[in-house]
Amino acid sequence: MTHSNPDLLTVGLVQVAPVWLNRQATLEKMLLYIDEAASKKCQLTVFSEALLPGYPFWLELTDGARFNSDLQKDLHAHYMQQAVQIEAGHLEAFQKKARTHKMALILGIIERPVDRGGHSLYCSMVYVSAEGEIANVHRKLMPTYEERLTWAPGDGHGLQVQSLGAFTVGGLNCWENWMPLPRAVLYGLGEDLHVAIWPGQLRNTEDITRFIAKESRAYVLSVSGLMRREDIPDNIPHARLIRKNSLPLLANGGSCISAPDGSWIIEPQTGEEGLWVGTLDHREVRRERQNFDPSGHYSRPDVTRLVVNRERQRTVWDQQSEI
């Protein structure tokens, strides 16, 4: 679906809890929300960080830093088994939905990539184009705090932007959004729609969403998840202990949209699952860039420049012999 006004873009923010640590069941839940977003004419639909198959909440609830712990090994092995391997076709259902609805998607996944041996996990943001192509996979540069006990650090390969109608879309995972240099990379590539995905907490989104909008003079979507104690299923390792140590609410949402002047289009939404829809007008980006453009007329590349290494990290490189 496209608007008669080419400056307009309708976006959907999906704030839901996963079927925790169950890839297939969570995928099926996500697909239902994509169909709902299509019924509301969304051209871009965004899901939260690590939603597929879920955020590693157990780490802070089960002494996650204890070395050589059988409990931690059990949970990590289960997490790895439920993680997403793109090369195995685990995202094909999303690609098909994107093609069917002519809708771009941004997915927060736990990736188990073949190019790093297939046994380490990365927190990745995946952009699926409206044509159903996996156009970009950004692996979180630096897992935050206890996340480092289960996720590996990513690389700069995915610091890219995508064209969508009048907009140039980029995004970062969770606390990456606090890192000024990765933000500056996306600004320099022309980003005017920034997507920040989070596991879900109002404290994460209520300030930084409007701050990034004002800094970049761009629209900012923050999309968060939910997690409640009752979302901890019985069929995962050590479920009883995790549930015993859990608060009633582990993640309360906070999904929202800010305009390029820092005003709210959708204020932070907490405590409930759902799809929130907003329509963005690129004209507002152009209006706000009149007095400030962080990589254009208000930048000084002769004084400060940014170097980016976008090489995908690998352990094994194939080098052709010279003939």
User: Could you list the active site residues?
Assistant: 49, 140, 174
- Please report, to the nearest 10 degrees, the dihedral formed by the alpha carbons of residues 312, 85, 140, 223 taken in order: 140
Please classify residue 181 by burial: count the beta carbons closer than 10 Å to its beta carbon, then call 0-12 exposed, 13-18 middle and 19+ buried. Answer: exposed
Q: How far apart are CA 247 and CA 227, in angstroms?
A: 10
Helix %, strand %, coil % of the chain (to 5)? 30, 25, 45
For 104, the 3-state DSSP assignment is strand
Q: How far is CA 167 from CA 9, 21, 147, 172, 243, in A?
A: 8, 34, 32, 17, 43
Please classify residue 139 by burial: count the beta carbons closer than 10 Å to its beta carbon, then call 0-12 exposed, 13-18 middle and 19+ buried. Answer: buried
Residue with the two structure tokens 């997507």: 195
The amino acid present at 5, given as its one-letter code, is N
> What is the separation of C-alpha 152 from the centre of its chain, rounded to a whole number of angstroms?
16
> Of 98, 108, 126, 101, nearest to 47 (Cα)?
108
Structure tokens at 246: 């859990």
Q: Could you report how far apart the first and last alpha carbons of the chain are, in Å?
A: 52
